[in-house]
Amino acid sequence: MNLSISKQEWLYVVKCTIGAAICYWLYEAFPQYPLFWSVISVVLVVSPENDQKLAYLRIEGNLLGSAIGLMVYFLPFPNIILLCLGVSITTILGTLLKLKTSMRTAVAATIIVLFQEQMANNWRVALQRVGCVVVGCAVGFIITFIFTKIEKVGTKKKDAHNVGTE
């Protein structure tokens, strides 16, 4: 059993921690909004691979799931039916659209939007949660973008340093 953590895995830990910290700071700065939900989106967008294409796909999943959650929210059914219907529609549509890579992200966003505490069953809450998902996606994308740029600069320096040493 190998208990070591690679450099890439450490960077993933750092990215997730930075994303969670930024979203928590936003939650503290804007207490009138449920921005704690954005933490889930940010950790779903960032990946150990530091892959911008994967980040885009996961953002697509988040947007699809939150849009479906918002549409389903307005149907006149009990919360459990809405939740099951939202998860089903998201899974079916994600499958039809070949979003296998971002399916879990889409379903998580649907749940974030639809999960309503008894005291807060209000369409504004669902809409705010869509906003929280988008904020988490934006933070996750920015972190991925920055770490990708840092990685490219590091690779260029490494390549420039190795020129002539072969």
What is the spatial distance between Cα 17 and Cα 143, in angstroms, rounded to a whole number?
11
DSSP 8-state class, residue 33 = S
Decide if 27 is inside a domain: no
Residue 18 forms part of a structural domain:
no
The share of the chain scoring above pLDDT 70, in percent, equals: 89
Average pLDDT over all residues of the chain: 87
Please check whether residue 69 is in contact with residue 110, taking contact to mean a CB–CB distance below 8 angstroms.
yes
Calculate mean pLDDT across residues 68-95.
93
pLDDT at 119: 52
Q: How far is CA 110 from the centre of its chain?
A: 12
Q: What is the dihedral of CA 138, 140, 145, 150, to 10 degrees?
A: 140
Cβ-based burial of 109 (10 A; exposed 0-12, middle 13-18, buried ≥19) = buried
Domain-embedded: residue 166:
no
Token couple for 74? 């307005």
Q: Tell me, what's the pLDDT at 22?
A: 96
Confidence at 23, pLDDT banded by 50, 70, 90: very high
Which structural domain, as residue segments, surrounds residue 133? 50-146
Q: What is the pLDDT of residues 127-151, one digit of tens each?
A: 888 999 999 999 999 999 999 988 8
Within a domain: 99: yes
29-37: average pLDDT = 89
Token reading at 145: 């973008």
Q: Is residue 17 part of a domain?
A: no
Look at residue 122 in the predicted model and tell me its pLDDT: 75
31 domain residue, yes or no: no
- What is the total count of domains within the chain? 1
pLDDT at residue 59 greater than cutoff 60: yes
pLDDT on residue 21? 96
pTM for this structure? 0.81
User: Is the per-residue pLDDT at 47 higher than 80?
Assistant: yes
The pLDDT of 18-44, averaged and rounded, is: 92
Taking the CB of residue 42, how many other CB atoms lie within 10 A of it? 27
Quote the pLDDT of residue 123. 78
Of 17-21, 101-105, 119-123, least confident by mean pLDDT is 119-123
Q: Would residue 112 count as lying in a domain?
A: yes
Q: At what angle do helices 38-45 and 123-162 cross, to 10 degrees?
A: 30
Q: Count Cβ neighbours within 10 Å for each residue of 4-41 and write b for 16 or more, e otherwise.
A: eeeeeeebbeebbebbbebbeebbeeeeebbbebbbbb
